Amino acid sequence: MSREADLSEGAEPTVRFVPLSELASALHSLGAYGAYARYLLRSSPDAEVPVASDDSGVSFAVSGMAIGHPEVQFAWLFGAPGPGQRAVLGFLRDKLRPLFVYARQGQRPSVEAVFPDHKLAVDHLLQHTGEVAPVDADVVWFNHENVASLTFADCVSERFPPLEFWESVGFCYAGLREGGRVVAALDYTVDDGRYAAIQAVFTDPELRGRGLGRALLSAVIHGLHAQSKIPLYVVSQDNAASIALAEGVGFERVERLLVLE
């Protein structure tokens, strides 16, 4: 049963809340762009999300905050531009206030109408569907239970927030060891049953240029393919080095995303 959101007077059309499970059919047709929402559909099908309708169809937004995690301050926007989508964005602006909103290029008119004074960045969504050979490297997968048994280069360990919380919302971690220390690391998440998104790769600055990040990324890709997962990679269009790293191991650009900060 949907329920109306408490929006300011005059907002049209009305924003209502529905369980994420009611939007399953819409989410299953969205490919890589819908991976995060489908992950939440698997983990929290009863989470309520803001929805509004108009002549263009149904628009909605899915965010980590919908499952009671205010630390996960981002939202993904779905649907076609129009009054309904602007109403959903107005709800995000006035009620949820996420740090980031991700949208497709075609949704730019709605985003700019509701956030006229905000700068829009662009991220590239890349996808890996080819083969990658096993990597001869000392790669370790770690979590909050075994992280204390590992030795990290200081600049690598400083990049990780409290692992136990982020594992609870789907993050996984991998590192590459050299000389007994983890000198390169990455995290990935969004396992919706088909896709897993690699967030970032970081290598000790003193050891860059030796292919350590590439080896780690290749090992994780190989592991994900072995689990029948399609690896994704999301990176700012301004991060040429990261794009080159991803494309160098076989990722291909499939979509440009708007990012409202």
Please indicate, yes or no, whether residues 160 and 240 belong to a single structural domain of this protein: yes
Please give the Cα distance from 235 to 11 (Å, whole number): 35
- Average pLDDT value for the chain: 88
User: Which residues in the chain land under pLDDT 70?
Assistant: 1-11, 65-72
Predicted local distance difference test score (pLDDT) of residue 53: 93
196: DSSP letter: E
Cβ distance 21 to 41 under 8 Å?
yes
Q: What angle do CA 89, 90, 92 make, to 5 degrees?
A: 65
Taking the alpha carbons of 148, 152, 154, 157 in that order, is the dihedral positive or negative? negative
CATH number at residue 195: 3.40.630.30
In this prediction, residue 8 carries a pLDDT of: 45
Distance CA 149, CA 80 (A): 49
Q: Kindly state whether residue 7 falls inside one of the protein's structural domains.
A: yes
Return the pLDDT at 66.
56
Q: Which of 233, 227, 226 is nearest to 249 (CA)?
A: 233
Q: How many domains does the chain have?
A: 2
- pLDDT value of position 261: 84
In a domain, 261, yes or no: no
Q: Does residue 190 share a domain with residue 106?
A: no
Each residue's pLDDT tens digit, 170-210 = 788 999 999 999 999 998 887 788 999 998 899 999 999 99
Which domain does 180 fall in, by range? Answer: 138-255
Q: How far is CA 176 from CA 163, 185, 221, 246, in A?
A: 17, 6, 14, 17
Specify whether the CB–CB gap between 137 and 112 falls below 8 A: no
Residue 123 in domain: no
pTM, full prediction: 0.85
- How does DSSP assign 118-171, residue by residue? SPEEEEEEEE--S------SEEEEE-TTTGGGSEE-HHHHTT---HHHHHHTT-
